[in-house]
Amino acid sequence: MSSQDFVDGQHDDSAYVPADSLPIAGLLALAMTGFVAILTETLPAGLLPGISHGLSVSESWAGQLVTLYALGSVAAAIPMTAATRTWPRRTVLLLAIAGFLVFNTITAFSSFYWLTLFARFMAGVAAGVTWGIVPGYARRMVAPHLQGRAMALALVGTPVALAIGVPAGTWLGDLVGWRIAFAVMSAFTAVLIVWVLRTAPRLPGQTAGAQLKLRDVFMLPGVRPVLAVILAWMLAHNILYTYIAPFLAPAHLTSRVDAVLLVFGGFAIGGIWITGTFIDRRLRTLVLASLAAFAFASAAMGLDGQSPTVLYLAVAVWGLTFGGAATLLQTASADAAGERASDTAQSMIVTVWNGAIAGGGLIGGVMLETTGVGPMAWTLLVLLLLALGIAWMSCTHAFRPGQRVSP
């Protein structure tokens, strides 16, 4: 493939035939793109003291590196997805990965706080593009009866990053410095570009006449219920994830946050395996069961949050339900939107999802300062029951029962 092919996409194969078996290498390339996006987002949180010292700012100001990344994702997801809908899919994916390479490299070498903040915002833009394209790309690689499993494999990078990548990145940063950790990320991203070029199929973008306007996509039956479930579910998740240390304090497990998050990550990987196995036959059942189980775990923490055993079991259930959440919700959204609008619907998910990350941190922080950790578990329960109720009632367009069919 020549450099001109990469720029204009003239040789993208519009006659690509979806595979009748999972293209493992290509789907894992998408998964590793998600891995890079999640690790880029979360790595500063574990390295704040070093970043603070290196940039000569307080830890609270260093923490804004995470905030700017999320803001970049929120700002870019919808407009960038809309602007690139007609572009060849692999070209868009490669540009997003190149964004991670460039801006993680700037972060690794920058000595200027404001330049680093800019780099983090632009890395967030790359992430917004990534999450807007990966689910639809994975679905289009395969025949309809394999789309759920393809998305599960393409999104496995998220729980792997949370379970393994974040602790490993934090360990590396503590060992050799936070700048080296970001440089290693850039080196891995360069390898990923070659991986994508070798394994990801060249799929065309949408034709101009096939596009739906943003408002039209939002008004499609089923899209709004999925977004509402995402907002409630992810608010609950992020309140717990962001403030897991205070949650563990009554059980005297604050010093074991790493072990608790390892349990969460391990069970999350199990959750995505279960989801990949059953999603094409039991999507609705998995969504309802995940919400009900997470609600049960939240109630258990509310009733007996001082018991280490209860907390470990609750965290295991939480991880199991979260592992497949992205796959379930993005599959439901794409099914509800259809092929003409799936990428736009995915960009809405990115916006709502990142809004829930910010909202979870804000709501949890206010509660922690005013009411303490006690009522927080019950807040999770209310949010999860709300999500469960919406999913239960949305059986016609959003979370349809039975075997998935081609939208």
**154, 184, 209 - which closes a domain:** 209
Distance CA 292, CA 309 (A): 20
**150, 181, 209 - which closes a domain:** 209
Radius of gyration of the chain, Cα coordinates, nearest whole angstrom: 20
Look at residue 227 in the predicted model and tell me its pLDDT: 92
Least confident of 80-94, 171-185, 206-220, 328-342: 206-220
Q: What is the DSSP letter of 163?
A: I
The answer to whether position 407 is within a domain reads no
**164, 182, 209 - which closes a domain:** 209
CA angle 246, 249, 250 (to 5 degrees): 120
Residues 173 and 259 in one domain: no
Give the list of residues 6+ apart from residue 293 with CB closer than 8 angstroms, or none: 317, 320, 321
What is the pTM (predicted TM-score) of this model?
Answer: 0.76
Whole-number average pLDDT of the chain: 83
DSSP alpha helices (H): ranges in 9-88?
Answer: 24-46, 48-55, 59-62, 64-83
**CATH number where 351 lies:** 1.20.1250.20
The CA distances from residue 114 to 63, 106, 122, 126, 347, in Å, are: 13, 12, 12, 19, 28
Evaluate if residue 230 carries a pLDDT over 90: yes
Neighbours of 346 (CB within 10 A): 24
Residues 173 and 48 in one domain: yes
Look at residue 12 in the predicted model and tell me its pLDDT: 43
The answer to whether position 220 is within a domain reads yes
Residues 108 and 123 in one domain: yes
Residues 334 and 320 in one domain: yes
Residue-range definition of the domain harbouring residue 115: 3-209
Residues 203 and 271 in one domain: no
CB 193 within 8 Å of CB 91: no
The answer to whether position 398 is within a domain reads no
User: How confident is the model over 3-16, as pLDDT tens digits?
Assistant: 334 344 444 445 56
Residues 15 and 112 in one domain: yes
Mean pLDDT of 296-311: 90
Mean pLDDT of 275-292: 89
Residues 258 and 190 in one domain: no
User: How confident is the model over 149-177, as pLDDT tens digits?
Assistant: 888 888 888 777 877 777 777 778 878 88
The answer to whether position 190 is within a domain reads yes
Tokens of 251: 């059980």
CB 230 within 8 Å of CB 284: no
Ordered DSSP codes for 117-145:
HHHHHHHHHHHHHHHHHHHHHHHHHB-GG
Helix axes 24-46, 166-176, angle to 10 degrees: 50
Q: Looking at the 3D structure of the chain, how many domains does it have?
A: 2
Tokens of 90: 């692999």
Residues 273 and 174 in one domain: no
The answer to whether position 30 is within a domain reads yes
Evaluate if residue 252 carries a pLDDT over 90: no
Helix axes 223-242, 342-370, angle to 10 degrees: 40
In percent, how much of the chain has pLDDT > 90? 31
User: How confident is the model over 363-388, as pLDDT tens digits?
Assistant: 877 887 788 778 888 999 999 999 99
Q: 364 or 406: whose pLDDT is higher? A: 364
Give the list of residues 6+ apart from residue 314 with CB closer than 8 angstroms, or none: 297, 298, 300, 301
Kindly provide the b/e burial profile for residues 210-236, where b requires at least 16 CB atoms within 10 angstroms of the residue's own CB.
ebbebeebbebebbbbbbbbbbbbbbb
- Binned at pLDDT 50, 70 and 90, residue 1 comes out as very low
Residues 231 and 198 in one domain: no
19 phi and psi angles, rounded to 5 deg: -70, 150
In percent, how much of the chain has pLDDT > 70? 90
Residues 190 and 238 in one domain: no
Residues 102 and 118 in one domain: yes
Residues 271 and 348 in one domain: yes
Tokens of 1: 């493939």
The answer to whether position 24 is within a domain reads yes
Q: What's the distance, CA 118 to chain centroid?
A: 22
